[in-house]
C-alpha cells in the first residue's frame, strides 16, 4: 500500500459506498456446503453474462472457491441481516438454522427468501491483492419481489427513494 495512504482513510471512504449484501456459496471437495457474506459483488458483462465477487485470501472457505467449478450468489432481502452476520462469522456452523434451497442448475444451496439468486460456472479467477476475484458465468438468475438488504457505514438498512428535493 502507498506510504501516503492511511488504510483507515481508505476504509472510511469505502464505507460511504452503499452496497447490497450477498451470500456466496459452493461445495468443497468433500461435498460440504461453504459460504461467506460478500458486498464486493458486481455485474461484469451482459454478453457473455458474467459477474464478479471478491474473496479475501485468508478466508477459511478460500481454498474451496479456488477449486469450485460452480458457485451460487444469494442477494439478501430486507430482514436477512442475521444471515449476513452468520455467514461473516468464522468457525461456526453457518447452515445451522439457515433455510436454503438447492439451485436448479447446480444443486448448490442458496438462501431461501433472498431477493435474488444466481448460479454460476466458474469462468476465471484473478489476483486482487489480498483478495481473489471470482468471475462467474451466470447460468440461472431468479429475482423475486423482495426488497433488498443494504449495507452502509458498517450498518444494515433499507432503500428509501430520493424525493429529488
Ligand atoms: C456486510 C459484509 C460484507 C462483507 N463483504 C465481504 C467481501 O466482499 N469479501 C470478503 O472476502 N469478505 C467479506 N466480508 C467478510 C466475510 O464474510 C467473513 O470474513 C467470512 O467469515 C469469511 O469466510 P470464512 O468464514 O470462510 O473465513 C463481509 C462481511 C460483512 C459483514
Helix, coil or strand: residue 86:
helix
In 7-153, DSSP assigns E strands to: 19-20, 22-27, 33-38, 41-45, 50-56, 70-75, 100-102, 109-111, 116-128, 131-143, 150-152
Q: Whose CA is nearest to atom 25 of ligand 1?
A: 90
Look up the CATH number of domain 20-152: 2.30.110.10
Chain position carrying cell 450498518? 155
**What does the alpha-carbon distance between residue 63 and residue 26 come to, in Å, rounded to a whole number?**
11
| Helices vs. strands in the chain: H and E counts, helices first | 3, 12
pTM: 0.96
CA of 71 to the centre of ligand 1 (A): 16
CA of 61 to the centre of ligand 1 (A): 10
User: pLDDT tens digits for 149-164?
Assistant: 999 988 999 999 999 9
User: pLDDT tens digits for 101-123?
Assistant: 999 999 999 999 999 999 999 99
Domain boundaries, the chain: 20-152
CA of 163 to the centre of ligand 1 (A): 33
pLDDT band at 2 (very low <50, low <70, confident <90, very high): low
pLDDT band at 80 (very low <50, low <70, confident <90, very high): very high
Confidence check: pLDDT of 165 > 90: no
What mean pLDDT value characterizes the chain?
Answer: 96
Q: List residues near ligand 1 (CB under 6 A).
A: 21, 36-40, 54-56, 59-61, 84, 87-90, 151
Q: Can you give the pLDDT at residue 154? A: 87
Q: What atom in ligand 1 is closest to the CA of residue 21?
A: 1
Convert 4-28 to b/e letters by CB count within 10 Å (16 or more is b): eeeeeeeeeeeeeeebbbbbbbbbe
User: pLDDT tens digits for 54-78?
Assistant: 999 999 999 999 999 999 999 999 9
Q: Can you give the pLDDT at residue 3? A: 73
Helix, coil or strand: residue 9:
helix
Amino acid at each position: 500500500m502507498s506510504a501516503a495512504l492511511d488504510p483507515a482513510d481508505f476504509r472510511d471512504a469505502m464505507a460511504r459506498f452503499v452496497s447490497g449484501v450477498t451470500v456466496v456459496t459452493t461445495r468443497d471437495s468433500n461435498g460440504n456446503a461453504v459460504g461467506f457474506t460478500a458486498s464486493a459483488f458486481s455485474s461484469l458483462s451482459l454478453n457473455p453474462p458474467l459477474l464478479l465477487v471478491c474473496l479475501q485470501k485468508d478466508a477459511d472457505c478460500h481454498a474451496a472457491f479456488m477449486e469450485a467449478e460452480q458457485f451460487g450468489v444469494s442477494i439478501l432481502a430486507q430482514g436477512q441481516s442475521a444471515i449476513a452476520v452468520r455467514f461473516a462469522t468464522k468457525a461456526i456452523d453457518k447452515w445451522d438454522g439457515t433455510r436454503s434451497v438447492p439451485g436448479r442448475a447446480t444443486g448448490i444451496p442458496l438462501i431461501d427468501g433472498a431477493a435474488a439468486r444466481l448460479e454460476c460456472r466458474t469462468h476465471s479467477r484473478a489476483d486482487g491483492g489480498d483478495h481473489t476475484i471470482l468471475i462467474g458465468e451466470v447460468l440461472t438468475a431468479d429475482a423475486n419481489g423482495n426488497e433488498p438488504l443494504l449495507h452502509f457505514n458498517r450498518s444494515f438498512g433499507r432503500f428509501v427513494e430520493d424525493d429529488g428535493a
